[in-house]
Amino acid sequence: MKFKKIGIIADKNSVAKKALAKLKRKYKLIAIKDEDNVAKAVDLIIALGGDGLMLHSLHRFMNAGKPIYGMNCGTIGFLMNEYNDKDLLKNLAKAKITKIHPLLMKAVTADGKTHEAVAVNEVSLLRKSGQAAKVKISIDGVTHLGEMVCDGVLVATPAGSSAYNFSIGGPILPLKSKLLALTPISPFRPRRWRGALLPHKVTVRFDIVHHKKRPVNVTADFHDVSDVTSVEVKEDSSKTFELLFDPGHGLEERILREQFAY
């Protein structure tokens, strides 16, 4: 692949700022300031930072339809490539595209309003007060858990399954598995339920039992909604995010390796 117009953004940390200045001196890169012009201004976006910047960039440029090539100038960098300023154009030409679909969240709050947001990693429900949440879980209109007493519950994509989902005991999903992870957060009842693997086409619905007494918030990546009464989550196949990875270091390979890490 060849990219003629390459845009670049950077996190606010000192490492990313230094990398940005160096790359702009070395290559003809376009500094991105206004996302409204991205669709016409560039063919590709380089993101310098960590996974947080990548997630924000995917959301920020959601409608631009441009692939994003991340270089790690942050902490973990699971969604990023290694930083390399020597052969940038060659690396971009050899990079492989990984396509992922986000989750679409529809949440209804106690005031009757409906809120929508998309999530690349996960949609998570968490109790708002000191009392445990009580949640009814339905899949495609069929109730499977009438009442789960817990701190919360989440739905994760394969791309996000190795993040928060894995840290609370959920499974890591291969990128092409066409599955979603449904994982409880500190479940009290049923005590031994540890979650489920779901086909990626299903709609998961959460109804909050006694929502006034046991309030619950929901978060789609970093979009928060307070005091929800119900939440529906499903894959949004109408949206496709494209990430570029160096050969041999793609997201699919990383997710596979993560299952053998200790």
> What positions carry a catalytic annotation?
51
Residue 216's closest CA among 136, 157, 161?
136
Interior angle at CA 46, CA 160 and CA 250, nearest 5 = 45
Say which residue the tokens 């290694």 belong to: 82
Main-chain phi, psi angles of 189, to 5 degrees: -140, 130
Residue 126's closest CA among 215, 204, 210?
215
Other beta carbons within 10 angstroms of residue 107's beta carbon come to 27
Number of helices followed by number of strands (H, E) in the chain: 6, 18
What span, in angstroms and rounded, lies between the C-alpha atoms of 261 and 240?
Answer: 29
